[in-house]
Structure 1
């Protein structure tokens, strides 16, 4: 399509003072346009940096949810159900294992360097109970259980033994209490190393196990070996 004076529209034209068209190269013309458009007067109503960032985040979130709802069984409703299930699982793990920054160190020894008798551990546990210090009460009662098993020669006294190891050894001679012994060891680990908070119910369960074990009759060594094979 012809332009002014026979020049085509593909060539930008600038009229000189005398009205004569002047051909302007493409690159300088583009740079001039960009310079002109960069002036503040053209951007007074542009959204701020924070607003642009939030818009980008929202668009990304919408795309992600759209993709997830398309992939989930049942569409958007299925995605909501899956999300609720995931939240429930996280809550259950939080309650069971305690705060995530705690690390369960089940290999740590059950006793400290100052050995005490089972009776002394029970006395300490009851003192903690009177003060409603349930964590300490559960710990001392667990130590009383293990020390009592050692004093009765049901398990050998061994420095550095963990609660899990003591429960596994005692379960071979007291199989009817095996499940409760393992649960007690797990509670001890959770309270001592996992950040879980004990309560009165946990302590009473531990004390009941201690009393029942005192009256329990162990299997003979040969029978215990046969049961474990």
Structure 2
């Protein structure tokens, strides 16, 4: 017997067949009986084994997923097997493109200029970078420190002041007179580009590497290109003599 039937029986709802005996049957009108049954069935004792709200939501979600795949497999040649083949083909194609092209970093277009239209000295760029670093604004700190590095090289006449120079160009040109720091200069330029144009986020370690590079460059004597070319010929001439 169902819970509703038991409730109706306990409440004395009108029986289907008249009862025999001396006492007249106890009857309750249909609407009050229904309302009484609803009140009775709303008690927690009848819902102890009901699924939770999360379970009902999951059941609806998986039902929706099942309907979706059923509709897709019905519209795909070969049914469910055909849908599986198509999904695997798409996954393999995406993996092949990822392997061939690699992770996208920056756009292939030319990088914008390193400096803006406000000429400032290396000391001013350093002060700005330190102020940003004190507030943990690492992106801005990295940008200003890289600008300080390049401006300091221009002030030392190791780079010609040239508007529109990019960070990569500055690193390549500076590496000719400071060959011991070529790799670090290129790494600093890549960090600057990643932060400024690639949507990356810098951290304290990246800023400290740039600050250390700036300090080391200040204490490094350049290798003059003309001297580098004349030294071997002079030594060869001395050896011949």
With normalisation by structure 2, the TM-score equals 0.57
Query: Is 1:111 aligned to residue 122 of structure 2?
Result: no
The Cα RMSD (Å) is: 3.3
Which of 50, 53, 62 in structure 1 is aligned with 2:84? 62
Query: Is 1:188 aligned to residue 192 of structure 2?
Result: yes
Distance in 2, Cα, partners of 1:169 & 1:55: 63
Q: Which has the higher contact order (CA 8 A, sep 6+)?
A: 1
Give the gaps of 5 or more residues in structure 2.
Answer: 1-66, 232-241
Distance in 2, Cα, partners of 1:196 & 1:226: 44
Distance in 2, Cα, partners of 1:56 & 1:225: 74
Query: Is 1:126 aligned to residue 148 of structure 2?
Result: no
Query: Is 1:172 aligned to residue 176 of structure 2?
Result: yes
Taking structure 1 as reference, are residues 134 and 226 closer, same or farther at Cα in structure 2, changes over 3 Å only? Answer: farther
**1:33-182 mapped onto 2 (5 Å cutoff):** 51-56=70-75, 58-64=80-86, 93=103, 97=105, 103=107, 105-182=109-186
Per-residue deviation, residues 85-119 of structure 1 (Å, max 9, x unmatched): 998x69x836xx2xxxx636543110000100000
Give the gaps of 5 or more residues in structure 1.
Answer: 1-47, 69-78
Give, in angstroms, the shift of residue 130 of structure 1. 1.0
More moved, 151-160 vs 215-224: 215-224
- Aligned equivalent of 2:12: none
Give, in angstroms, the shift of residue 120 of structure 1. 0.4
Per-residue deviation, residues 137-183 of structure 1 (Å, max 9, x unmatched): 00000000000000000011111111011111100000010000011
- Aligned equivalent of 2:22: none
Which structure has the larger Rg? 2
- Aligned equivalent of 1:29: none
- Aligned equivalent of 1:12: none
**How many pairs were matched up?**
159
